[in-house]
Structures are given as structure tokens and as C-alpha cells.
Amino acid sequence: MSSLRNHRIIIASLFLPTTAVIGESNPPTPDAYTRDVGAATAQDSGGRPPAFRHATSRSIGSTPAPLKSIVDDLKSRAITPITTPPSETANPFSKFASLAVTPAGNGTTSPSAHHSLTNSLIDMSLGVSLKVQTTRPDPHAVRIQRKESRSSSRPRYPAITRSHSYSNGNIEPYYFAPNSHCNGGLKNAVDSVKDRLTSKLWVGTLGNSTDDCSPELRANIDRRMWDMHSSRPVWIPDAEFESCYDEFCHQVLWPCLHYAVPDAPKTKLFFESASFKQYVAVNKRFAEAIENVWTEGDVVWINDYHLMLLPLLLRQSTRIPALARAPIGFFMHVAFPSSEIFRCISVREDLLRGVLGADLVGFQTASYARHFRQTVSRILAVEALPKGIQVEYGITGGSREGRGWFVDVGVFPMGIDVSALRERRREPDVSYWVQLLRQRYAGMKIVVGRDKLDEVQGVRHKLEAFEQFLKKYPEYQGKVILLQVALQTTESNELAAGGVSDVVARINSAFSTLTYQPIIFLHTQEVTFSQYLALLTVADAFLVTSLREGMALRTHEFVECQEGRHRPLILSEFTGSYSYSGFRSCIAVNPYDTRGTAKAIYQALTMSDEEATSRWEDLHNHVVTQTAQTFVTSFLTRCLRANIEHTTQTDLNAVPALSTNLLLPRYKHSPRRLLLLDFEGTLWRPDMSRAGLLAPFTPPEGAVELLKKFTANKRNEVWLLSGLPVKSLEQVAARAPGVGMVAENGCFVRLPSRGTGNTGGAWITMVANLNLTWKPLCVEILNYFTERTPGSFVQEREASVVWRFWTGPTDDCSDRQWARRQAAEAQNHIFDSLGERYGLRIIPGANSFLVLPNNISRSTAVGAILHPGGPAHSPRSSIPDLDVPVNGSVGRETGFVFAVGGDEKLLRRLNELDNAETVSTSGKGTDAKWKLDAGDVGEVMWTFANCP
């Protein structure tokens, strides 16, 4: 973390943590339940998120009218059957909110308050509101509806109050308030390390309508946001933002990322979304904003699916070319689906290429990271490794044009700020509400839930499971309640949630009595954070039935609040939290299995204290280990390290061409020389036509003569690095026996032979301890795709397999496009079925791909050759005293290591040797010290060979 003190962190998120609200600042409400921040939003006096109001009649939302529960309605009709039922308050806590004066020391109330409390608690049994209807739009409201951020979580734990209004007479008055739309989990995490993250800058939108803001007002807000909140607003036209956020993000990306692909015929927007143009425009505005504030040394942290194009846009910057080498990290806060789902998006390649502009791509779980690697490999046909993605294509524009690079892919589970939560739990308000809730529900079991009303949150599945529980275990009717807190959402989302209000009404009408209502349904604006913590404290079980979700941080809060009670957690196996071993001690449920979930509720309510405590300890160990602080520090540190590793690669234009005038004197005067030469593509240009590839191998005359010339000099140790099988290289060895060889890209090593009449040295296998039973299975898969890809064929070797899926012209014709799609499918199928089980890697090429074991490469083979005791130090070697350890330097100053080829990993590794001269023939960006055109290799190599 100390290294981060030297960097400013630019945090790009769609919504800023703080927003500006037009109008005079309202004084803070003294009531306890409005003083704190709600469960997901900071509310104004009207009970809605703060809006950018330009007139009193214009706001983003409107106040919903409270609905009475069925019991309320029946009670009212029984008393006054002709008149309209009187309006009841929606919040059950408000029945005794007037008594919630901040208690002294021990949290007691006066006798008169206790008398009123008793009456209020009796009224509450009949006065709980069923509020699940969405807000009806205000006819005077603006069209844009900037809904809550999908990945948002709870705001920071300390209470937040509004600032005073600002106005200089020339602009409208405004004040700053917490942004109800911001990603609360991210803000919590960043705030948790504010003492160590000394410099940061937030970049995002205000989350309000901004079209009517004058340039003077925008400039004033920009200045004050910069000075007071370390934020830089991004100003986006309302129509552009609405199309990007409400259409593309929420109707295209969000369903796809959560496995909710719409069914035909309602898929036109999903597959042919014109709103993608606005998505691109919004990302470009973010790129411009970052360009305006970025300075050398800044780290750019891009968050979530709203900004998937931003990493590449920053790399392509022509205004600030240095951004091409800046540390850029991208973190996906939500789930990432399998390639079968993501490939349905028409703009899939643009989104993936955009994300791959980052140095580091982070996900919540290992499965999401694996899905991303497989999707990129399948759709973009690039090499996916366990650590990340090897991108071979270059970025158009910017200093990375024409270059490839490596993108790290990592797993960084998000957590909560445990210390801040403990501090809030110790506040008198929380203890006060805990006491009242225990008095109110004495003798009853409480099951608590907190979810958005989106379909993927599984609220309907939860309610139906609770209904099944009451039916299957009738002895619990009247003794168990489900208290469900619903986060703000939109009418379309609630409709998509499957008629939650209808399910609640059906259950309550079936099981309610005059003194009992089984489901209490609340919106977050009706519950303060102190009250929510009290609910988590008194809960007998916490129920999460998400159909798909990232890290469910509310479960972390429940576990921490259960310190001292240790009640169980019921968790959907489709959440990201469940993938971690610590959370395997929960009661796992399949939300689609209603009976199974009902049984899990019964198990939780009847679990013994000993078992519950044992389960809670495992859960708590994860919560206190994977904290918000760990998340931030591990992600940013890894991003910096990845950038340092990636930026060592030099632009090809900056690499000098090989100078024989400079190297020949060193070569000539060195008593010992080690030469590492690539065969294919360097010393030999093979015929890549179908006929040439299928023809029997014949050693190229020019390359063989060059090798013989090199080995004729006793000061030279020559190694030929190749991907050809052993039997092909044996023909080369027969004519140049003094050459050491590496076959099948590092699977086999042949020692150089010395002595008259010796036709070949011994071959050493590098895969002796590896399981090669995957080969027949791999060949079977490739034969299946060969039958469906004209002109393709399989080359099976001793320890690797090559599939040549295209051998025709190199132009991008329809047949080649089909072959590339088939190759991507084949790679994905091999990786899914064999890759992890047998430890395989797939190296894609322009017209073929190679399958071989992990940790086998030309680089590892050369490392074994150079290692003390390796082939270069064996008695068979002509230079047994050459000291060239793999991670050190050449021991003797007269040593000379000369490597020529296109394997960047090998060249980068050899650069660690003090006396190594590396030459790249790949024509791409390289870490090599020199570059050489492949067509000039023969002439240059003969110059060295002819040198004594």
C-alpha cells in the first residue's frame, strides 16, 4: 500500500458519490429515522432521491402514495364500511418513531413513553403497510429517469448530512448531497482506506437532469466539487444519458450479464440496439474528462459495465499519448456470464476489446474471471492463460498501434468495512431499535431479506418459498414473519420481478389474522440504517434467493451483526459470495427449488446453537479477512505491478535495428558464445499452403549450411528452437549434429553431439511426468470440427496437437471467417472439457492453433538448458564452464549470449542476462534490444557465421 501513496487514483464510476441539487438546502430532520442514511439512498424531505430541480414543479421522481395492507383494509372496512379507509403510515417503525428520542446512556425511555409504546406496538400488529407499488410519474417531471445504479450497495456507514447552499447571485442556488445512485460498495471501500490513499479523484456524473444548467453554474459546481469533494463531474446531455443508461445498460447489458436473455420476439433492442451509439458517446465523454485531469503517475480505476469501452478509448488517446502507458484497471462489480450468453450481444467484440485496453481486469469470483477468459478466447480468438489474456492485435491509434500486449485477469472479492460497521452498531440508536423490535416480536421468529425488485434478485422465488414453508409446517403459522426490505427500483423492473405485490397479497390474505401478518414489505426509504442494523441483529435467519448476483455484501453485514447470536444464513448458490469456501458454511439453496428453500428456512429456525455457532465462525472468518480495505489495496497494487510488467515492452519504432558494426566486435572477441536461434519464421520460411504443410519435411539447405558453419567454430554453442516434431528435426540433426535442438515448442530437448561419426545426441523429454491421455480426446474434438471446416486438418505430435483450420488465401473472405469462427468454437470446447482437468494451454495463430501442456514453452526449455547442471553445463557441452544461471548474469565478462527469434517471452527472459543480445524478428512491439526484418536474417546471420 505504501507504493500507492506516490500515485493519485482516478476513480471512474458512472455516478459520483456526491451530487449537486438545485435549490436551497433543507435543514436536517431531527427525527432519528430521517437523520440517518437509508438502506440504499440519501433521501430529501419528500422521500425521494435528491434531484437537480430547476423549478418547484420539476423533479426526477414523485412521492408515492402509501398502500394499506389487507389487514388495514379489512380493519377499516369493519369500522367504517362506507367511507374511504384512513391513510396509514407505510413504515412500521414510525409507529414508535416519535418515541425514538436519543436515549441516555442505557437507552431507557420514560414511563409515559413506555405506555405510548405499548399502545403503538399493539397498533403495529394491525397497521403494517404493504407497500410494493411503484412510484407513479409526476406529469410535470422531466422525461429522464436516472435510476439507481445496478451495482450500488449501501452508502458509507457514518451518517451523512447535507451541506449549505451556494449562490453568488449570478447562478441558481444549489447544495451538495449524497448521490443516491452511486456505487455504495465502491465508495465504502475507498473511504475505508482514506488514511492510506492520500490522493484520489472521482470522475462521474451527478445523476440528475443537467440540460438546463448554465455554463456559469457548471463551472461553479466543477470548482467546488474539485475543492470540496475531490470530484470532477462529467456533463452529459439528458437524452444521450437516458438512451445509454436506461436502454443499453439496463435493457441490453444488465440482462445479459445476469443470464436473463430476453425471449423473442421482444429482442430487437437486445440484438440491434441503436442506443449503443449513445453508450459509445458517454464513454467518450468520460475519456475526455479523464484526459483533462490526468497527469503522469496517475492510476485510472474504471468501474463496472457502464464504462466497458473506456480503457481502450484512453489507450487510443491522441491528445495525451502518455495514457497509452498509464496504469489502467477495470473492475466488473456484477456477474459475468458464460460465452454462450455474452456472444448473443451484437456489439460483443467492441465491448471485449474495450475492456482489454486495461492492464488489469478484475472480477468478484474465479468463475466470472474464467467466463471472461473463455469468452475473449472464443470471440476474439486470442490466447487465454490462467493469469490473463495475451492480445496479439494492436490498438489503432496511440502509441500501442501495431503492438500486442498482455492483460492480467484477477479475482478480487469485495468486502465491507468491518470496523466502521462495528462502530455504527455500538450507537445508542441501534440498541434502542433492537430493544423495541424484541419487545414487539417477542416469542416470534423473524426472517429478514433485503433485495432489489429486479427479476434476477429472486424476490418472487423467496416469497413463494416462504409460502410453501407456511403450508408445509403449519405449526409456524402465526409464529414466523418475513420482513422484506426492497431497494428502490423502477416500474418496469418490478413488473419484470413477476408481480411481487400479487404474491405478497395472496400470502397475507391466506395466512393473516387480526394480530398476525406473515410478510412485512418495506421500501428502503422507510427504514433507516440504524433500524436496518437492528433488524439484522434480531433476525433469526437472513434469506437471499438471488438468481444471479456478484458479491452479496448484505450477507456480510448480517454475519457481522450476528456477533453474539450466531444465527444462520440462507444463501443462493448462484451468488458470488457462495463460491468462497468461507461462505460454504451457510445453508445453500437453489432458488428455483421452492420446496428445498422452504426446507432450508425450517432448518435455519430449528438449528441448534452449537451448529449455528460453528457455521457462523466460518462465515465470520471470511468477512473479517476479505474486507473492503483488502479489496482496494490488492486491486490497485496488482494494477500497478501489471502495468510495470507490461510497459517494459518497447514500441517497435523505438527499438534500434540490429547493428553488426556494434555487435560483431563483441562476438569476435568473445571466447565463448551461446547462440539461440528460432527455426520457423527466422532461419526458415516454411510453405504455409495446404500442399506444403502436408508434404514430407525436407531440411532447408540454406539453414542447414548456416548451422554447420556456426558449429564449425569451437567457440560457438548453437541451439535451434522449433515447434516441429522430433522426427522432423532428426533430419536436421543428421546433417548438423553439433546443434542442440528444442522440439515441439519446448516439449523435447536434444543435446548437441560432438565427435566424428556421431549422427545425433540424446533427446530429453520435458513432459515425462505429465499426463498425455488428453491427446486422443483432443484429436477427437478436432476431428469433429475438421469435418465441418473445409480444408482444415489435424497434426498430432508426440506431446502436442496442432489444428490447421485455414490454408487458403490470407484475405478475409467468407470461408476464412467461417474457419475462424469454427476455430474459436473448437478452442472454447477444448478448454472447457480438457483445459482445466489436464492443465492445457492453447496458443492461437492467424490460421492455426496449438494445444500443449501448461508450463511448457521454448522459454522454459531454454531455462532448463541454461540452469546450472542443465544441458549447457553437461559433459557433452562444448562450454561446460559457462556460468549462465537463468535468473542471474553471465559469470564471465567474456561470455556472449545471442538470441534471434520472435518468442517475446524468451527474449524478455534472456534480457535478464548481462551479456545477452536479443534480436526480435516478429515485426511487433518487443522487449528485445534489437530488431531485424525476417527477410534480412539470412544475410546478417552469415555475417556472424563467417566471423572467426
Looking at residue 648, its pLDDT comes to 63
pLDDT tens digit sequence for 598-641:
999 999 999 999 999 999 999 999 999 989 999 999 999 999 99
Shortest CA distance to 342 belongs to which of 869, 752, 828? 828
Distance of CA 307 to the CA centre of its chain: 12
The helix (H) or strand (E) run that includes residue 898 is: strand 895-901
Q: Per-residue pLDDT for 935 more than 80?
A: yes
- Report phi then psi at 743, rounded to 5: -110, 155
327 pLDDT higher than 50: yes
More confident residue, 881 or 330: 330
**Which of 154-163, 502-511, 524-533, 876-885 is predicted with the least confidence, judged by mean pLDDT?**
876-885
Q: What is the pTM of this model?
A: 0.72
**92's grid cell:** 412500521
Q: Mean per-residue pLDDT for 713-718?
A: 90
Question: Is the pLDDT reported for residue 872 higher than 50?
Answer: no
DSSP state string for 87-102 = P--S-GGGGGGGG-PP
Q: Rounded to an integer, what distance in angstroms lies between the CA atom of residue 713 and that of residue 716?
A: 6
The lowest-confidence range among 114-118, 331-335, 629-633, 898-902 is 114-118
Q: Which residue has the cell 536436421?
A: 732
Q: Does residue 38 have a pLDDT over 80? A: no
Contact of 781 with 833, CB cutoff 8 Å: yes
Q: Which of 163, 135, 258, 144 is nearest to 205 (CA)?
A: 144
The dihedral sign for the CA sequence 599, 604, 606, 609: positive
The whole-number average pLDDT for the span 463-469 is 96
Mean pLDDT, the chain, integer: 79
Going by C-alpha positions, the residue among 444, 467, 434, 437 that lies closest to residue 605 is: 444
227-279 pLDDT, tens digit each: 999 999 999 999 999 999 988 998 889 889 988 776 544 555 555 567 899 99
Identify whether the C-beta of residue 521 lies closer than 8 Å to the C-beta of residue 122.
no
pLDDT of residue 581: 75
Average pLDDT over residues 533-557: 93
Integer Cα distance of 410 and 639 in angstroms: 10
Q: pLDDT tens digits for 55-105? A: 333 333 333 333 333 333 333 333 333 333 333 334 555 544 443 444 444
Of 458, 513, 511, 450, whose CA–CA distance to 486 is shortest? 450
Check residue 125 and give its pLDDT. 36
Mean pLDDT for the stretch of residues 922-942: 86
Lowest mean pLDDT among 24-33, 164-173, 626-635, 849-858: 24-33
pLDDT of residue 882: 37
Q: What is the pLDDT of residue 269?
A: 57
Query: What would the mean pLDDT of 429-447 be, rounded to a whole number?
Result: 93
Is 439 or 115 the better-scoring residue by pLDDT? Answer: 439
User: How many C-beta neighbours within 10 Å does residue 262 have?
Assistant: 17
